[in-house]
A and B are shown apart, each in its own frame.
Chain A
């Protein structure tokens, strides 16, 4: 019975696969202006490759069907309603709305099932990605430079307008970080200014306000809430008319500053006459952040500054699917948690980490079994009973430092869900500390 089902399933898959293969390269071929022999061979290659893939495909999808909800599997296996694509090229702008509803009408999504894992390509980490991109020359560097120079001519105008009570917001494709940085260097060298890297994942409103109160106003003390702090800042700026502050915010629309409350406070801050705000936005929906009230507080002048520069800094913190987790964040959290634990607990964790690193070349390493682990800990005089070890492990588990898995034989296996390089870094650091 099961076999039969499998057969049907694979048949369906085959259909789908063929369907897909026949579409993608076709579309590509049509799109390219001049067909060349290289391309032909390319598409053929992908077709044959998919035949070979069949075996793997089956395996993957059975695993999938085991994990996923039945509805989803059904959705993936039903034959596709072929539509949208052909139409779209013809009259692009015609029925945008209809297209939208067509695409969202059913819960079925039609895409191929290929995964990156099978691509025979290692996931790049942040560093190698950076190095690789350095090798690739930036296209149209001359034109981009020209474009940027056009924007740079606006600097003096920006200064004037900032002083007349407007605030400036920059939009358009391309990173505006360098442009703002140039503006800062050429115009703001001698004035008090604050640069906020909005794209930084751990930036908070409070840290912005703190740097104003502490560094600009030299105030020592804490505030109960951001509105209180804001009130204090506004009061100080009103009292002392000689105070002036330029605030540069890269990505005012970033994940962390997007919230209604942060925007409200930033808007109020920007409406202080001697605080000059110049900010950049990138997200297509960024203008939706502001309602009439906030807009009037911000008093924006919009400037289109399309730069076409790559968003190097801005995207480096993104958790992209394609980039391997850089691990630097994981590493710091790991050390932070362990710092707060007892010496013995740290020792226990080290043992586990070392064992895991020793076995890193073993692809079927299941983890360290509890019994073995207890034995090792006892030998190192770290625990005296298996109860203390269990208590310790519970604490680790609460901090998500370890994961337990029950093997086929019912034995508990322990794993640290961090990649090996991070773990190695961590151990190195620990050694330095000791």
Chain B
């Protein structure tokens, strides 16, 4: 009973990592650019109001409300996160007065105003202090929600900050201006009713000179929606600027880059698992949040189900832990398939030592852990390097994104695949300038990588680069010689011309490779050798089970469940769940030994749209009686009948609960069937 909170099961360093990602700080940096733009827009938008420039310009412009159209993409579930960080950013930089409106709370303008004022007045309390809470309570209930009262409120608030104690004023003015704008965010602009939006915009445009209002529209589809929702007369009251947030695919790429393609993060995803997560993302929801959720589930599952996961942490800690492993834990390591393979490859004395001596095992484990770590560092650098090449190739035989390449490399030895072969073919046809830029990128990757083995590689790549440089110089000389040759040809007669042409043709067939081509071959071969050396799939590595989570079925079961299929299987083939030999039967027939609900279900499958209860009951009792055998004596038969009747009633009402049938009034004592086919 004490194990109910096994948080301690998770090794602390990893768990701290986990909690970092739980809060998803990554996502905030992602939108940094967007937020910076928005902040500068907001600063600009009401500078006139701020500076109180000539009355006239103010009035001229004042009918237009500055509006930011924020295109957020279809992944609606991630929007909340973006808005949350947006509100933080705005509160820190621009204004305390922010209101978030959702379509479902605003069926009419009145409700919208209520919601708006409620939120604004609450921020007022937060900014000020909680001492006059009752004042807010009163205002909340009594104040008529109109634009005038909003303006009065705004004036009183801004005046109050003016007359505050100097110290307080300084703190507030450092963050906000004297009269900060009021930002109203429409979270899901598309779902608002047009009338509400129009009315609100028209009303507030009348008061824009008194209230520095800024609107932000959250848009999931395309900015065109503004014009289809609002007629020209209304949209002309808005001064719209467009902001584009990062697309969800870029989000995903960044997350994969930050979570999975880092050697410093000890936990890794296996190929199948990653594929499942990516598939859910691409084919179900485009939701980054869900992807992160799946990733979290993987972490939890890994640490709960894999006993050797205690060693899944930073290398230094892992070595320490390996040193203090208990005997049972050592046994767990010995059970790992990858470790067994390793043992088998050793000489016999070592085999015995590994299998019997715990201390020797611990030493070996430490060494292997280090190997694994080095492997990761090298793997990632070479992967990025290979990605530089493959992302340039036409038609992307190995995929455009690095995640696709990563999956391919995890799955099996990538150099044995056809796609790899064809990408090498294509790489051998690259032109020089592309090749040079790629090589330069690769050099950068290797230089910045943490792996220690790449000094030679960098040397080699630089050597290639200088050779290309030299080639360029040589090429210019060659150019001259070719033109002289052409001049020579002109002077020959027809016979000689024919001859030379034939010779040329011959020579082209057995043409010796030019120097550039030779060099290009060398480069591609060298990259190939790197790939073969370093991009070995992880599951070929000893002790990979420590870091890699591979049970994709768990993920599919818990994230992408199929309740209908489960129900159908249980009803059709109860043997799957109840391991009793009597239940074993072939698909089509109805076993009379099956649980009542299964029999009733199968009988109902044979009926049409309506089912007569009497017939159904009769069929049921026939099936059940056959199970009980004809020897039930006549005296108790009435009794038995009653019980069967009762069992039938129970099964039918269970089917009704499950949604297979419903009572029908079309005919007396009939029920309607609600499902069709498989389930």
Closest to A25 in B: B622
Contact A292 to B657, CB < 8 A, known contacts A28-B623, A110-B608, A156-B4: no
Is A376 located at the chain interface by the 8 A CB criterion?
A: no
Task: Pick the residue among A114, A115, A133, A160 that contacts B300 (CB under 8 A).
Answer: A160
B646 touches A164 (CB 8 A): no
Task: Pick the residue among A24, A166, A264, A293 that contacts B77 (CB under 8 A).
Answer: A293
Residues in chain A near residue B368, CB distance under 8 A: none
Is B224 located at the chain interface by the 8 A CB criterion?
A: no
B104 touches A264 (CB 8 A): yes
Which residues of chain A (159-177) have a CB below 8 Å from chain B? 159-161, 163-166, 171-174
Is B287 located at the chain interface by the 8 A CB criterion?
A: yes
Which residues of chain B (285-337) have a CB below 8 Å from chain A? 285, 287, 289-290, 293, 296-297, 300, 304
Which of A4-12, A31-39, A335-343, A389-397 is the interface stretch?
Answer: A31-39
Separation of A143 and B584 alpha carbons in the complex (Å): 14
Contact A160 to B578, CB < 8 A, known contacts A136-B643, A315-B657: no
Residues in chain B near residue A281, CB distance under 8 A: 563
B566 touches A306 (CB 8 A): yes
Separation of A79 and B549 alpha carbons in the complex (Å): 63
Residue-wise interface mask of A (142-154) relative to B, using a CB-CB cutoff of 8 A (1 in contact, 0 not):
0110110000000
A119 touches B614 (CB 8 A): yes
B676 touches A302 (CB 8 A): no
Contact A104 to B609, CB < 8 A, known contacts A172-B570, A296-B289: yes
Query: Shortest Cβ distance from B649 into chain A, in angstroms?
Result: 4
Is A241 located at the chain interface by the 8 A CB criterion?
A: no
Contact A172 to B563, CB < 8 A, known contacts A109-B610, A315-B653: yes
A160 touches B296 (CB 8 A): no
Is B590 located at the chain interface by the 8 A CB criterion?
A: yes
Query: Shortest Cβ distance from A212 into chain B, in angstroms?
Result: 21
Is B615 located at the chain interface by the 8 A CB criterion?
A: yes
A323 touches B653 (CB 8 A): yes
Contact A157 to B658, CB < 8 A, known contacts A39-B622, A299-B293, A303-B558: no
A140 touches B622 (CB 8 A): no
Separation of A285 and B580 alpha carbons in the complex (Å): 30
Contact A133 to B610, CB < 8 A, known contacts A28-B622, A93-B677: no
Contact A286 to B563, CB < 8 A, known contacts A293-B76, A302-B558: yes
Is B518 located at the chain interface by the 8 A CB criterion?
A: no
B578 touches A147 (CB 8 A): yes
Closest to B285 in A: A292
Closest to B670 in A: A111
Residue-wise interface mask of B (93-135) relative to A, using a CB-CB cutoff of 8 A (1 in contact, 0 not):
0000000000011000000000000000000000000000000
A310 touches B677 (CB 8 A): no
Closest to B15 in A: A164
Query: Shortest Cβ distance from A268 into chain B, in angstroms?
Result: 11
Is B426 located at the chain interface by the 8 A CB criterion?
A: no
Query: Shortest Cβ distance from B188 into chain A, in angstroms?
Result: 9
Separation of A166 and B577 alpha carbons in the complex (Å): 27
Which residues of chain B (493-525) have a CB below 8 Å from chain A? none
B649 touches A323 (CB 8 A): yes
A interface bracket (residues with beta carbon within 8 Å of B): 35 or more
Which residues of chain A (27-48) have a CB below 8 Å from chain B? 27-28, 31-34, 36-39, 42, 46
Query: Shortest Cβ distance from B3 into chain A, in angstroms?
Result: 5
Residue-wise interface mask of A (292-305) relative to B, using a CB-CB cutoff of 8 A (1 in contact, 0 not):
11011001011110
Query: Shortest Cβ distance from B666 into chain A, in angstroms?
Result: 7
Residues in chain A near residue B4, CB distance under 8 A: 155-156, 159, 187
Task: Pick the residue among A109, A155, A285, A295 that contacts B666 (CB under 8 A).
Answer: A109
Which of B39-47, B228-236, B339-347, B592-600 is the interface stretch?
Answer: B592-600
Closest to A114 in B: B614
A302 touches B592 (CB 8 A): no
Separation of A285 and B564 alpha carbons in the complex (Å): 8
B566 touches A318 (CB 8 A): no
Which residues of chain B (263-294) have a CB below 8 Å from chain A? 285, 287, 289-290, 293
A116 touches B669 (CB 8 A): yes
Residues in chain A near residue B352, CB distance under 8 A: none
Task: Pick the residue among A143, A165, A199, A283 that contacts B659 (CB under 8 A).
Answer: A283
A136 touches B647 (CB 8 A): yes
Closest to A253 in B: B659
Residues in chain B near residue A3, CB distance under 8 A: none
Contact A32 to B626, CB < 8 A, known contacts A119-B614, A282-B657, A301-B559: yes
Closest to A92 in B: B588
Residue-wise interface mask of B (641-659) relative to A, using a CB-CB cutoff of 8 A (1 in contact, 0 not):
1110111111011101111
Is A412 located at the chain interface by the 8 A CB criterion?
A: no
Query: Shortest Cβ distance from A356 into chain B, in angstroms?
Result: 25
Which residues of chain A (74-116) have a CB below 8 Å from chain B? 76, 84-85, 88-89, 92-93, 96-97, 99-100, 103-104, 109-116
Is B561 located at the chain interface by the 8 A CB criterion?
A: yes
Task: Pick the residue among B567, B652, B676 that contacts A322 (CB under 8 A).
Answer: B652
A321 touches B300 (CB 8 A): no
Is A333 located at the chain interface by the 8 A CB criterion?
A: no
Separation of A238 and B648 alpha carbons in the complex (Å): 50
A133, A146, A281, A321: residue with the most chain B Cβ atoms closer than 10 Å = A321
Contact A32 to B645, CB < 8 A, known contacts A27-B606, A133-B650, A140-B578: no
Is A227 located at the chain interface by the 8 A CB criterion?
A: yes
Residues in chain B near residue A97, CB distance under 8 A: 677
Q: Which 8 A-B pairs have the closest CB atoms?
A: A96-B677, A38-B630, A302-B561, A173-B570, A296-B77, A132-B646, A143-B578, A171-B563
27 chain-A/chain-B pairs, Cβ below 8 angstroms: A38-B626, A39-B626, A76-B667, A88-B605, A100-B676, A103-B608, A109-B666, A111-B607, A111-B615, A112-B614, A114-B612, A115-B669, A136-B647, A140-B595, A143-B578, A164-B296, A171-B566, A173-B570, A299-B293, A302-B557, A302-B558, A306-B577, A308-B570, A320-B656, A322-B613, A322-B648, A322-B652
**16 new A-B pairs (CB below 8 Å) besides A114-B614, A172-B563?**
A37-B630, A39-B622, A39-B626, A109-B667, A111-B615, A112-B614, A132-B642, A147-B577, A172-B570, A173-B566, A282-B657, A284-B563, A284-B675, A285-B659, A310-B654, A321-B671
